[in-house]
Structure 1
């Protein structure tokens, strides 16, 4: 009987220790004045958030086309453990299924560049104990979100100090009929300038030295592989430091689940430098 009681006590202690040491997941709605609507975001707080006095770095993690703010937490639930492991806040915004994370020049209702770079980051910094400088912010994402992360970070280097892309659509021009891009930029044949001005590979000129820490990768079987390889070559030509990896794999959650581990380590090193 004593042995059984001891086992039950140990089980109770272990269970409570587990519950106490677990990240907190919130769904936070942020009002976007630029789009006149409330937008949902997943916010993951590390287990140390309640007790730590020092501010926390924030990683913004973007979903791909057809997805929403719940994609990462539902497809890769381990991100809750990563928030604990790396002691960072992780924010997964809803970027609309096909916003591509820019301010559309043809649709005034699509202003996701303004939302991410001003409204959301400002709200997160006001609501949580964050390191509210570029040294405490990083951004990455998959596919459309990889494009979005680089697009936003290249254009707003005062907001984000590090950026990543997983299987990112880093040159959207070869896909004029895909993923509602023509709804966001206009038909390529008529609005070519919109496409040229809003594709990541054409924004390299905004980079200088290592002012923005970069990591990106793509599977060799991915339809975005060629664009990623070309961006890598362009950065090499211009002596822009970056981490670039090619590995086996296609456009899949198996690939992104693995890829995220490398990005988190990279950002953790950046935050702790």
Structure 2
């Protein structure tokens, strides 16, 4: 499956977090995944949430800047959401951000779609091929979640995104690498809306949100309006806040609730 795999030792893990590093041809090297595994026994085929970070980040940022693992476990203990495993991969660590698209000889898309689920299933016994799959992210990761969730709609049960880039040209707001390096030959691949229009009637359940002081607000409002105009079912929400961790650490809980609402409930 992978030429090499390293898995953290339970004796030294904290916060119910596990760490996986695999070597994959898609990255032409190694990729990291931080995984939250709820401390429960005998549960199988748990839902798997793939949670994507934004520019400048890595596999650790969702836990160490938003405490998502703490929020998730508190919500599970309180019965707000069913048990689920959360996989937080690096984006491939190219430049300021890979965009989660193929470019420059690396396939950052296949890393997320193929390698990450396989690496988790190979190392986390509570996740298997029967596990329902979800995808979410923030900013560049929101673009990744929307784009990949829509493109690979048959794989995902639901999509949720925060403060999202909605078109690849918006990467220029954040990265120093030339935009031309990100753009795909098929122009439809550069836009969330273009991919949605390819097959609007078979989308996974979809939600996204944005802060009212966010520099990407108008792009998110435009996507919402496009979906409304075509009567495509979705949830769009706005909350006070900007493009910052205080916003994402709070509203990732909305994502977990949204995903949890699509899952048959377990009792802890």
TM-score class normalised by the smaller sequence: 0.7 to 0.9
Matched, 1:149 2:127: no
Which structure: greater helix fraction?
Answer: 1
Matched, 1:225 2:217: yes
Contact kept? 1:217, 1:244, Cα under 8 Å: yes
Matched, 1:88 2:84: yes
- Structure 2 length-normalised TM: 0.82
Note the aligned Cα RMSD (angstroms): 2.2
1:102 — aligned with what?
Answer: 101
2:52 — aligned with what?
Answer: 62
- Which runs of 5 or more structure 1 residues have no equivalent in the other structure? 1-21
CA drift of 1:56 comes to 0.6
Aligned length: 241
CA drift of 1:118 comes to 1.0
- Which runs of 5 or more structure 2 residues have no equivalent in the other structure? 1-13
Matched, 1:29 2:21: yes
Question: Structure 2 vs 1, CA of residues 58 and 23 (structure 1 numbering), >3 Å: closer, same or farther?
Answer: farther
Q: Please tell me whether Structure 1 or Structure 2 has the larger radius of gyration of its CA atoms.
A: 1
Q: Deviations over 1:83-124 (max 9, x none)?
A: 4613110100000241011112xx11x311011111111222
Question: Structure 2 vs 1, CA of residues 210 and 258 (structure 1 numbering), >3 Å: closer, same or farther?
Answer: farther
1:219 and 1:143 map into 2 onto residues whose CA distance is 11
2:190 and 2:89 map into 1 onto residues whose CA distance is 20
Q: What pairs up with 1:32-51 in 2 under 5 angstroms?
A: 32-48=24-40, 51=41
Contact kept? 1:137, 1:161, Cα under 8 Å: yes
1:166 and 1:184 map into 2 onto residues whose CA distance is 24
- Structure 1 length-normalised TM: 0.80
CA drift of 1:178 comes to 4.2
